[in-house]
Amino acid sequence: MDSPDFKKILEVAKKQIFVAAKRGNIEFLKILIREYPDLIFHVDNNRYSIFHIAVKYRYVDIFILIHDIGSVKDFIVPYKDNEGNNILHLAVKLAPLDRLHSVSGVALQMQRELMWFEEVKKLMNPLDVEAEDRDGNSGDSKVENGQDGKTLRAFFSQEHQKLKEEGEKWMKDTANYCMVVAALIITVVFAAALAVPGGTNDETGTPHFLKKVSFKIFMVSDAMSLVLSTYSTGSFLSILTSRYAEEDFLESLPRKLPVGLGTLLLSIAAMMVVFCAAIFILFKDGLVWIPILVAAIGSLPVIFFIIQHVWLLIDV
């Protein structure tokens, strides 16, 4: 184990492990750590371990890898860099732009930053978390220029102030646009419920096609679309009236957004079913291919809209 060849290989491995950590190459790191477990204790020129690098560059897989090793992480977490800063200082700073933009939506980026801060804070000694930062911070961020006596939580707020403001604007714009769509759906499906396809009996007011399956589908889908779009409007309205404190970005706002988006997409899908059912009701005699073709063409814009917005719902 003390041969020159082994030492040479170990030196190369020490360099490669930090390169892999900065690039987020989790598979390569697993191989290196499996072959040379002691590498997780090594630090680079800034005295950062790969655990510190995972926090700095927001690599979840690497963070989980070291975290799940067990009590070993308790020896790595207290490491301090050349400026005397600990691992929580890296979570306080704003993530690199390329890593920040790996999440779509500014509000979701703010949520991710808060989640990183909270998770790293759980690993720290409570006294270190609440301690005042009197030594300054390394790096080129605004954190290092803060005044003495500020807690790390205060520095987090200072560092992420612009991101928080942009997240608030993004959240409000998204809620406004989606609420307009939901309101239009409410208007359309409400009008469709009053204007029954095929008309009604002049004497009894009973719809002519009451017993047709397509008519029953029409009415049920119309009611579902109306209820879902109304619920979606309420969800987006609650987003617009939120106080937008930092902690709201962690759970409250991200919880309301998928509810509003999900019910909106479902109401659009239900509205599409209403349209298709109405077409089949009107073309009651022969020429089945005509309502099928019209329904298919009319459904395309709705399908495209759902596809474009479902990815945002998945990200949330």
Instruction: Identify how many contiguous H helices and E strands the chain contains and give both numbers.
Output: 14, 0
Q: If pLDDT is split at 50, 70 and 90, which confidence band does 136 have?
A: very low
Interhelix angle 252-282/161-194, nearest 10 degrees:
20
Task: Assess whether 112 and 199 both reside in one domain.
Answer: no
Length of the chain: 316
Task: Assess whether 191 and 220 both reside in one domain.
Answer: yes
28-42, 193-207, 288-302, range with the lowest pLDDT? 193-207
pLDDT per position as a tens digit, 212-239 = 777 888 889 999 999 999 999 999 999 9
Structure tokens at 45: 């020129």
Task: Assess whether 141 and 199 both reside in one domain.
Answer: no
By percentage, how much of the chain surpasses pLDDT 70? 83
Task: Assess whether 91 and 209 both reside in one domain.
Answer: no
6-10, 49-53, 105-109, range with the lowest pLDDT? 6-10
Task: Assess whether 40 and 109 both reside in one domain.
Answer: yes
> What pLDDT, on the 0 to 100 scale, is given for residue 3?
60
Task: Assess whether 63 and 93 both reside in one domain.
Answer: yes
Q: Is 220 exposed, middle or buried (0-12, 13-18, 19+ CB in 10 A)?
A: middle
Range with the largest mean pLDDT of 119-128, 142-151, 222-231, 247-256: 222-231
Residue 36 C-alpha from the chain's centroid: 36
HEC string of 212-267?
CHHHHHHHHHHHHHHHHHHHHHHHHHHHHCCCCCHHHHCCHHHHHHHHHHHHHHHH
Task: Assess whether 104 and 234 both reside in one domain.
Answer: no
Domain boundary among 130, 159, 188: 159
Task: Assess whether 143 and 167 both reside in one domain.
Answer: no
Q: What is the CATH classification number for the domain harbouring 96?
A: 1.25.40.20
The dihedral through the CA atoms of 249, 121, 46, 42 has a sign that is negative
Task: Assess whether 169 and 293 both reside in one domain.
Answer: yes
Structure tokens at 242: 């939120």
Domain boundary among 159, 191, 226: 159
Closest to 102 in 3D by CA, of 139, 142, 57, 67: 57
Mean pLDDT of the chain: 81
Task: Assess whether 153 and 169 both reside in one domain.
Answer: no
> What pLDDT, on the 0 to 100 scale, is given for residue 198?
63
Domain boundary among 159, 174, 204: 159
Q: Give how many domains the chain has, as a whole number.
A: 2
Tell me which residue range forms the domain holding 155: 4-159
Task: Assess whether 190 and 232 both reside in one domain.
Answer: yes
For residue 35, the tally of other CB atoms under 10 A from its CB is 10
Q: d(Cα 225, Cα 266) in Å, to the nearest integer?
A: 7
Task: Assess whether 109 and 235 both reside in one domain.
Answer: no
Structure tokens at 301: 């814009």
pLDDT per position as a tens digit, 139-182 = 444 444 444 557 888 899 999 999 999 999 999 999 999 999 99
Position 280 pLDDT exceeds 90:
no
Q: Is 12 exposed, middle or buried (0-12, 13-18, 19+ CB in 10 A)?
A: exposed
